Chain A
Amino acid sequence: MGDKMVNILLVEDDEVDVMNVKRAFKKNNVTNPLYVCNNGLEALNFLRGERDPSIIEIPKIILLDLNMPKMGGIEFLREIRKDDKLKNISVFVMTTSNEDKDKVDAYNLNVAGYILKPLSMERFIEAVSTLNNYWKLCEFPDK
């Protein structure tokens, strides 16, 4: 179980936030392969193998920001839920938006969780740790 690392895709446009996630991963000794896309469109291209055909395994987990240029998080979610190959991916929304509308939209598109980005680093590390424990516990289909 532990030796099988699932790929993780981070869709985030803010460089600091990307660093933040990477740092939190490091702190929590999360070693899963992490791919980064800067917006929804890029992430879609990536998942459909148009950017890097060498990726063998489609990421099982996506950490998704909502407010991004070109294609926002909710729009991206709609796209992958329509795509037969991608609709099973677990998506965790990590956002600053505390809007009810965003939360409702996200859960309607079957997200695994909706996490508000805390201001302090410490609490974010805690959150990532919890997530790590969660997806370590979960079984994912092979293909």
Chain B
Amino acid sequence: MFQALLNRMYRMKIGTRTAISYFAVIMVVLIFTTASVLLLQYGKNIDIKIASSFSPVINAIKDYQYLIEESGRLSIDLSIQPNAAKKLRLQKIHDRIYTRQKLQVIGLCQEPGLADVKKRIIGVDKRFELIMTNEKALLAILDSSVAYQDTTKMREALVLRDKIETEIGKQKLILSETSLQAISVFNKLDSQKFASYRTLSYLLMVMIFVIVLLGILSIYITNVTIIKPIKELSSILDEVGAGKIISFQSHIARADEIGEMITSAQKVVQGFKTKEQVANAIGKGDYDIKVPMLSRRDRLGKALSEMKDNLKRSKEKEAENIKSLEAYTNRLEKKNKELDQFAYITSHDLKSPLRGINNLTEWIQEDMGESLSPDSAKYFQMLRGRVHRMENLINSILKYSRAGKTNENQEETSSKELVYEALNSLEIPENTSILVDETLPIVETNRRDLLEVMMVFLSNAINHNTSVEPVINITYKTSGSLIEFCIADNGPGISAEFHEKIFTIFQTLERRDDVENIGAGLAIGKKIIEDYGGKVWVESSPGNGARFFFTWPSPQFHA
């Protein structure tokens, strides 16, 4: 039932609800105030009634009683001896005073509560009429002083006197009772007044209780219907604010402001949720999704839409870039193939005419025999020398074009062994001292690549050494994940201006006719080293020998 009441409440606006509760409180206060006022009035009326009729009634009864007693007393006195004044007084009572007194008492006893009193007084009055008759008879018997002498008359009077006395005693008693009865009636009224005041205090207590109850009820209802939902909503909005998107459903259908607030919050969350879904879809690459706009002022929606468009554009651009990159790669691959083809062609097609020339000169020389002049023979010799150089140049081009990192057979290799292997395959002049660091490390490489590099630097150091006692020193140091090898010689040295040039293919520092040297070795070595991610450089000056450095990666460093 309480739930039904709550449900009914949810359908009202908070304003209506507040108005109703205020109205209820006001009504309660009004009802209780009215009741209190009425009760007070009632009490006051009783008070007035008591004040206005209690004393007069009691006094009147007393007076009435006294009057009756007086008349009795007068009768008795007169029955004993004559007294004109008393006789007159009694006659006055009989004639006027009594009736007046009687009417006054009866007139005062008009209150319904005094009906019994009135009845009794009327009863007394009836008895007193008889008494009066007796008294009048007594007066009639003793109408003169002579009559007191008359024993018969006196006897008669005595009888009457006794009757009167007895009767008046009776009536006096009744009237005393009647007085008491009237007092009790007034006491009863007084107690009624107090009862009304008690009721009033109860009423006040009940009113306070009802108001307190209403207050508690209204606090409870406010709590259940307003504060709790607001708290829940604000905690949900906090979570939303923290970025967590949760959908929630109000469990009560309500039409008040809280309900509107919940609906608004749901709209916000729903908006976020839709945006989240859209953003997810965009994130997954759906750039054709339509971003739902909450309104024309939906800035988040606009931002999302712009983001989507930008992403779409950049994706398209990226695709274009990839395409052009692919095209570029294809071109590059084609060029590389062409270069390979070129190297192949050089090695065959260029070499065979060379050999032809060589053969033909030999045949000419053979056929001419002795008839060839010594000069011509020398020229033929030089011709063949140039042909050989040409062949060497072609071979070097081929070798240079093929030089680089070999991806196959990468393994842990002792660089020391490679140095010895290289030295074994080189022609080393007798007096040359070669010092090899015995701790040369293990490196990760293709054997042939590093061997080739070692050969380049060692042969370079040996071949160009013009010192009387050539000394060649092979050392290394570690720097990070790289091994830095150093091949030092005590040769003629290289001046700084050639330090770069010597690593360029076909660059030689001496005439080829003096020292038959192609000038490709260092270039090939450099190409291999750089393909491995290393660096090569020389430190040298004329007369101080040369120190060639190169770094080689050591993916797994071995101390």
Contacts and interface: CB of A to CB of B under 8 A. Distances in A.
A116 B181 CA distance: 165
Interface in B528-544: none
Contacts of A121: 358-359, 362-363, 366
Interface in B321-358: 344, 347-349, 351-352, 354-356, 358
Chain B contact residues: helix, strand, loop or mixed: helix
A24 to B, nearest CB: 10
B400 to A, nearest CB: 15
Contacts of A66: 348
Interface string A87-100: 00000000111110
B69 interface: no
A23 B348 CA distance: 22
B348 A119 contact: no
Contacts of B351: 96
Interface string B102-125: 000000000000000000000000
Contact of A17 (B349, B356, B362, B387): B356
A96 B359 contact: no
B391 interface: yes
A20 to B, nearest CB: 5
A96 B388 contact: no
A20 B359 contact: yes
Nearest to A13: B352
B360 interface: yes
A23 B360 CA distance: 11
A117 interface: yes
Interface residues of A, number: 17
B120 to A, nearest CB: 157
Interface string A71-105: 00000000000000000000000011111000000
Contacts of B359: 16-17, 19-20, 121
A68 to B, nearest CB: 10
A45 B360 CA distance: 31
A119 B391 contact: yes
A119 B362 CA distance: 11
B447 to A, nearest CB: 16
A67 B348 contact: yes
B393 to A, nearest CB: 13
A119 B349 contact: no
Interface residues of B, number: 20
Chain A contact residues: helix, strand, loop or mixed: loop
A96 B388 CA distance: 14
Contacts of A14: 352, 356
A72 B387 CA distance: 26
A14 B352 CA distance: 8
A14 to B, nearest CB: 5
Contacts, number: 46
Question: A17, A117, A121 — which one has the most chain B CB atoms within 10 A of its CB?
Answer: A121
Contacts of B355: 16-17, 96, 117, 119
A54 interface: no
A120 interface: yes
Question: A67, A97, A119 — which one has the most chain B CB atoms within 10 A of its CB?
Answer: A119
A64 to B, nearest CB: 14
Contacts of B352: 14, 17, 67, 96
Contacts of B356: 14, 16-17
Contacts of B384: 120
B387 A23 contact: no
A117 B356 CA distance: 11
Contact of B354 (A67, A98, A99, A119): A119
Contacts of A95: 348
B449 to A, nearest CB: 15
Interface in A1-43: 14, 16-17, 19-20, 23
Given A119-B358, A119-B387, A119-B391, A96 B348 contact: yes
B49 to A, nearest CB: 142
A99 B347 contact: yes
Nearest to B384: A120
Nearest to B355: A119
Contacts of A117: 355
Contact of A120 (B344, B347, B348, B362): B362
Question: B348, B349, B387 — which one has the most chain A CB atoms within 10 A of its CB?
Answer: B348
Contacts of B362: 120-121
B347 A98 contact: yes
A120 B360 CA distance: 10
Contacts of B387: 119
A44 B363 CA distance: 32
A72 to B, nearest CB: 10
Nearest to A124: B359
Interface string B369-406: 00000000000000010011001000100000000000
A119 B388 contact: yes
A120 B354 CA distance: 11
A115 to B, nearest CB: 13
Contacts of A67: 348-349, 352
A65 to B, nearest CB: 9
Contacts of A16: 355-356, 359-360
A133 B199 CA distance: 153
Q: What 7 A-B pairs have minimum CB-CB distances, sorted nearest first?
A: A16-B356, A121-B362, A67-B348, A96-B351, A20-B359, A96-B348, A119-B358
Given A17-B356, A99-B344, 19 more contacts: A16-B355, A16-B360, A17-B355, A19-B359, A19-B363, A96-B347, A97-B344, A98-B395, A99-B347, A117-B355, A119-B354, A119-B355, A119-B387, A119-B391, A120-B362, A121-B358, A121-B362, A121-B363, A121-B366
